[in-house]
Structure 1
Amino acid sequence: MAKPQQTNAVPENRPSRPDQGHQHDQNLSGTFVSVMILGAFLLVTWVGVFLLFLSRG
């Protein structure tokens, strides 16, 4: 009887991924800058709409 094939098996002579476990060491400064720009845009938009509301009231 034939053995079922293992699709996720790692050969024993090859180490598993060397970068495994170091995924949290990425540089996220671009993400931080993008979030700050988006937050500033939302804040400026909210203040603009609020001032428009006050001027029409």
Structure 2
Amino acid sequence: MGDRRSYTDRYAERVVEQVIHSDNANVARHQGLSEDIVWSMVEYVGEKSRYRRESVTAFGH
């Protein structure tokens, strides 16, 4: 079983937006997080977005 996330979806999305405009190391330092946690947020938000796109396509909306 995977580890439980210790952050909200909204926070993860905000961190990912910062990564888009900067880089993992700077965002991690600014947020007081490890680079691994920042990267896990990037992966999580990416998977969540991919799942949404697939759901919309599958249901034709």
TM-score after normalising by structure 1:
0.47
Structure (1/2) with the larger helix percentage = 2
Higher relative contact order (CA 8 A, sep 6+): 2
TM-score after normalising by structure 2:
0.44
